[in-house]
Amino acid sequence: MDSSPDQIEAEIPMFIRVYKDGRIEKLSGTNTVPAGIDPASGVQSKDVVIQPDTPLSVRLYKPQTTAAQKLPLLIYFHGGAFIIESAASPVYHNFLNLIAAESNAVVVSVDYRTAPEHPVPACFDDSREAIKWVAAHTAGNGPEAWINEFADLGNVYFAGDSAGGTIAHHMAIRVGSENPGGNGKVNLKGIALLHPYFWGEERVGSEADNPFCALIPDLWKLACPGTSGADDPWINPDKDPKVSGLGCSRVLVYVAELDILKDRGLQYKGILGKNGWTGDVEVIEDKGENHVYFLFNPSVESACTLRTRVCNFINNRA
């Protein structure tokens, strides 16, 4: 029997390698960049620790502005299958500099804990704590000056891509079913789900013919070892009895034609409708594009159009 410390227990290509001795090697999404001033847009960013014992931090983005009124506030949850990436990842830092500049909004990017070191629901718990921290600024005397001075907590949006879209969905349900802000109030106007990471036991649409579908349950079990499977409400909104409690009035969903997760995103509008949620849902499909392409190719026309649509959504423009 091979007792080498380099013996591999499990591996999911491009994501993670787990060794027999318990070591974990993340195969992508580990690069980071510091916060600072973006020379192209003038957007300023900084990292703030909001819960030292976890530790939980957020990266804040403040656009250049001379506006007298306060700005919309976007809370963003990064993707990475609940396993890789961070708020300091180069692709997310670049994307949110662009979003902050183009939407003229304050952005709070949540650096939640990732699996398998911190299995689901740690990411959801951290995200809830970040919302509570934001809500502590409602009266204008919270711990962070940028939010007190520039952010309009009566005009809040959640957004995320892939697993971050799943988190944004669940945080909106928490806003609708409880008061995650404690004594403060988060006035959630809408959520933008960009290629959300939803799944289920029964194959839908093009999933039946996609050989890569077998990877999704493996990823999910690694992220959530205690899961009941692919119909767990954490990953399948169609099995969530709380889905009708989505605490906002507007939803924007983006899917990509070549994305393995496309059909789940297309299905989301129907799930909300049949469960009695009465808000407005817009679903947009980018033809010829793959999963989260807009992070890696931000200058292509479809990525620029996506950002414009998200920014209009944040500013309540058609």
Active site residues per annotation: 162, 259, 291
Could you tell me the two tokens for 207? Answer: 């999933």
Contact 83, 25 (CB under 8 A): no
Residue 47 amino acid letter = D
Task: Kindly state the DSSP code that residue 70 receives in the 8-state scheme.
Answer: P
Phi, psi of 159 (to 5 degrees): -150, 160
Q: Provide the Cα torsion 247, 52, 184, 35; round to 10°.
A: -70
Estimate the share of the chain in helix, then strand, then coil, as percent rounded to the nearest 5: 35, 25, 45
| Sheet strands (E) in the chain | 8-12, 16-19, 24-26, 44-51, 56-62, 71-77, 106-111, 151-161, 188-194, 250-256, 280-286
